[in-house]
Amino acid sequence: MGLIVTAARVRTIAFFNNKGGVGKTTLVYHLAWMFAELGVDTLAVDLDPQADLTASFLSDEEVEAVWDGQSAAQTVFDTLRPLIVGTGVPTRPRPAELRPPHMFDAAGALWLLPGDLRVSTLEDELSRAWGDCADRRERAFRITAAFDRLAQEAARERRVELILVDLGPNLGAINRAALLMADDIVIPMCPDLYSLQGLRNLGPTLRAWRGEWRRRVEGAPAGLELSLPRGEMQPLGYVVLQHSVRLDRPVKAYDHWIERIPAEYREHMLGEPPTTPVAVSEDPHCLSSLKHYRSLMPLAQERRKPMFKLSPADGAIGSHAKAVADVDADFRRLAREIARRTIGDLR
């Protein structure tokens, strides 16, 4: 086995469900802002080829400036391009095949590593690299570990304490390489059949990827001086999102699916045998159950800020003001719970 450099790592949490439309990007965006507000220096990394998280942070004009190279910030694809096209030459003591990351400063304690639609073109390259890692090819390890190396270097540059990663909804090679960098995975869910099916696909796939990556690392070529992701990918818990409410209870049409989530999560994500049924509200694996604040979302998107930062000057008056306070309380509790399970209790 080759020499694998193990630099100090920043805790990385990926938000992923291979079922789309569950509010994943909204969750990452608001948690990134909330962690920053709670004093946790945070890096948000957009690895979804649709770049929806980037669009949440930046205006169209700012995105265009980043993508056209007119901004100091660089996209994920920009930083990886020398390695992918083969122009980067590894040097010691620091591999030079990745460009230094330049992030967008979203707030005093919050940075964004912008996404890029061109990330989707890496699917075939990353798929080939996965197979080549099994054949102990050094460049394959460099490519497979590139997302992790990039995020960790960006985090160290800004001295952040936490990395949050947004991913697209599929189980392809891009997400496999991206998930390898995750210490923990938070699974956003809607109470419906499709989210449950996502669990059934995701759990076994993660277990297979963990084992396959472990065998690849054990067979890494001699002399490979490279920090490789550990491939932990441990399920941290799930968040139920976007359910309609009536009298503070989920509408009856969703009850059937909500009741099934705890058992399905245990069976497919954790590989545990069936147990006595437990309600979502009492399930220790449920990090939170969030309402869909439909009236606030358009207002927040227009003002380009998280819902809990809306003010009367933004139009958040009357019932909207109460909803803003509710959102703030919900995300504050969720951020504290995630922190408790990962980086420790917050002040």
Q: What is the model's pLDDT at position 10? A: 95
Q: What is the model's pLDDT at position 89? A: 46
In a domain, 49, yes or no: yes
Angle at 17 between CA 61 and CA 217, to 5 degrees: 100
Question: Residue 70 is part of which domain span?
Answer: 11-292
In a domain, 90, yes or no: yes
In a domain, 1, yes or no: no
Average pLDDT over residues 287-300: 83
Q: What Cα–Cα distance (Å) separates residue 171 from each residue in 151, 239, 311? A: 20, 20, 39
Average pLDDT over residues 293-307: 84
Angle between helices 123-134 and 193-218 (to 10 degrees): 40
CA-to-CA distance for 159 and 41, rounded, in angstroms?
7
In a domain, 105, yes or no: yes
Angle at 235 between CA 229 and CA 239, to 5 degrees: 130
For the chain, give the mean pLDDT.
87
In a domain, 309, yes or no: no
Overall number of domains in the chain: 1
In a domain, 189, yes or no: yes
- Chain centroid to CA 131: how far? 25
CB 202 within 8 A of CB 235: no
Average pLDDT over residues 113-136: 94
3-class secondary-structure state, position 47? coil
Residues with Cβ within 8 Å of 125's Cβ and at least 6 positions away in sequence, in order, are 84, 143
In a domain, 308, yes or no: no
Residue 53's CATH number: 3.40.50.300
> Rg of the chain's alpha carbons, rounded to an integer?
20
Q: Using 50, 70 and 90 to split pLDDT, how confident is the model at 93? A: very low
**Phi and psi torsions of 110, nearest 5°:** -140, 130
In a domain, 212, yes or no: yes
Residue labelled with tokens 């990886």: 80
- Chain centroid to CA 199: how far? 16
Token readout for 45 is 């990394």
